[in-house]
Amino acid sequence: MSPAPQFDFDFIVIGSGFGGSVSALRLAEKGYRVAVMEMGRRWTRENLPRTSWSIHRWFWRPRLGLRGFFNMRFFRHVTILHGCAVGGGSITYASTLLRAPEKVWDMGSWAGLADWKAEMPRHFDTASRMLGVIENRILGPADHLLKKTAEASGCGHTYYRTHVGIFQSAAGEPVRQTYPDPFFGGEGPERSTCNACGGCMMGCQHGAKNTLDLNYLYLAEKRGVQIFAETKVIDVRPLGTDNGGSGYEVHTVKSTAWVRRQPRRFTCRAVVFAASSLGTMELLFHLREKGSLPGISKRLGKHVRTNSESLIGVRVGGCADDLSKGVAIGSGVYIDQDTHIEAVRYPNGSDAMSLLATLLTDGRPGAQRIALWLRNVFRSALRHPIKTTRVFWPRGWARESVILLCMQALEGHIEMRWERPWFWPFRKFLVSRGTKVPTFIPQANAFAKKVAEISGGTSMSMLPEILFNVPATAHCIGGCVIADSPKRGVVDVRHRVFGYRNMYVCDGSVVSANLGVNPSLTITALAERAMSFIPPASSATWDSGSSVFDNTRLAERDSALRVPSEPSV
């Protein structure tokens, strides 16, 4: 059946990050008319901020006049760092693209629902090709320091160069050379090779980082996908009474406007939620509460994972080497079976993060730890006044620091709920609940101290981790997990939302286990897999009824519907 012309679009994709970009391109290739609604701005080499002090072009808080691409959200259990732009988190991400270890498919609510270990490799291959993944060829002083420390700590054999989505010159070739599209047979944009400036997380100004606007979204727009930037989705409602079988209306406002918010209404046959773990949870909670999508599973917000992360670091005051040189995450080590540490950096001059750094402090969270921290600061100031002042002095922080990003592939999760906080009872917000995620990973702290010892520097923690016992993560995942029924999750094994027709979730919220590695490649591969089940527009029947919970019947109908579709790019 061909798509009904009375709809503005066949598919509306909400969010243009990893899941959204894959969805947009693959659906367009299958012949659908696709729109992408993205609340963030479009970025080019010219309008990216030079350093993190250019707060208004780095941070996203439109109501305060900050219209950047990076956001921090503070919850009782975790501080979540995330991206907000055309290209989602890819504009600010460090472009580390690692495959999730196989054991993750045996953990969490997705275990046993598909033959993941057999299916996922080909989707990882496609995702890696599209994102231009290579083994990092550029090692900076911070990577050498990580290696030296790993060797001194007995885990030197686990040291590895990260896999990154960065266009790098071959050994011996000059850097910052511009070439016609090197990735898509000439169909993509021209690119320049990386100059190791370490600026990936401030947005690459040299066209070397493989952001989504240079691959998936670029190709999607060439195939007619319309991207609506600065457009926030505030409502999604089924048009009829058949749970989305008659299509949806999607309401938007201009995200960067204060007063004239330019409300618009679009109609479509199908919707893909791809607003990230946090964004999709927030939107679905709001829509369930206001009655637009009352049938969303009660499991929404459950099993939110932080990748069990902790951010620590070392500042080497007066360091002869420029620790900001290299790519943002150049290398990593495994200090034990479950604990993974990467060497991270910001570019020279991007010192704003120093405001959150302080002296490393061990010990159990709470008042005891704060007291210990105060004692450490006091003692250090008395014993080494110059060294201590240097740790707190913002200027030169990025040049003199290596951030250690510690991740653990251990089970552990929190819950997000839609509640009125005690301090603001006028409306409901997303709030976190559950057992606190540990902020203190003793073996990671010991490793940071070793780095400090070898480099002559001072080890650092994040201030919120000590003061409020709240860890920070750039890798919030889960909340709409894959499961066998709405009693256990929000979407089925093909990302179809339980209770609705022609409605999907394709972003980090479906990830159903702690990955122990940076998640973007897994999110991309999962989206490739989800899209591979959608038939071409010419044979669409528009009845992807995940409201049918009998999985035997679902499986039978799926195999009848399925048209194998190898991605064409």
Residues lying near ligand SF4 in the complex (CB under 6 A) are found at: 166, 194-200, 204, 206, 208-209, 327-328
Cα 314 from Cα 459, distance rounded (Å): 4
233, interface contact from ligand FAD, ligand SF4, none, CB < 5-8 Å by kind:
ligand FAD
Cα 20 from Cα 39, distance rounded (Å): 13
In sequence order, what are the residues at sequence separation of 6 or more whose Cβ sits closer than 8 angstroms to the Cβ of residue 281?
Answer: 300, 301, 304, 416, 430, 479, 480, 509
Rg, C-alpha atoms of the chain:
23
209, interface contact from ligand FAD, ligand SF4, none, CB < 5-8 Å by kind:
ligand SF4
Least distance to ligand FAD, CB of residue 519, Å: 5
Tell me which residues in 186-225 interact with ligand FAD (CB under 6 A): 201
Tell me which residues in 504-533 interact with ligand FAD (CB under 6 A): 507-508, 518-520, 523
Residue with smaller CB distance to ligand FAD, 85 or 316:
85
Least distance to ligand FAD, CB of residue 233, Å: 4
Identified catalytic residue from 82, 123, 413, 475: 475
Label residue 168 left, alpha or beta by phi (over 0 means left) and psi (-120 to 50 means alpha): beta
Does 474 contact ligand FAD by CB under 6 A?
yes
When binding is defined by CB under 6 A, the residue of 12, 13, 14, 444 that contacts ligand FAD is 14
519, interface contact from ligand FAD, ligand SF4, none, CB < 5-8 Å by kind:
ligand FAD
Does 331 contact ligand FAD by CB under 6 A?
no
Residue with smaller CB distance to ligand SF4, 167 or 266:
167
Residue with smaller CB distance to ligand FAD, 62 or 188:
62
How would you write 345-376 as a 3-class SS string? CCCCCCCHHHHHEEECCCCCCCHHHHHHHHHH
CB 419 within 8 A of CB 429: yes
Tell me the two tokens of residue 34. 């696709």
Residues touching ligand FAD, count (CB under 6 A): 41
CB 201 within 8 A of CB 218: no
- Mapping DSSP to helix (H, G, I), strand (E, B) and coil, where does residue 311 land? strand
Residue with smaller CB distance to ligand FAD, 273 or 498:
273
Q: Is 475 a catalytic residue?
A: yes
CB 256 within 8 A of CB 229: no
Cα 243 from Cα 226, distance rounded (Å): 26
Does 38 contact ligand FAD by CB under 6 A?
yes
DSSP string, 184-203: STTSS--EE----BS-GGG-
Tell me the two tokens of residue 313. 């670091």
Residue with smaller CB distance to ligand FAD, 286 or 369:
286
When binding is defined by CB under 6 A, the residue of 34, 35, 78, 94 that contacts ligand FAD is 94
- Interface residue list for ligand FAD (CB under 6 A): 14-20, 37-40, 81-85, 88-89, 92-96, 201, 232-233, 274-277, 279, 283, 329, 474-475, 507-508, 518-520, 523
* Catalytic annotation, residues: 475
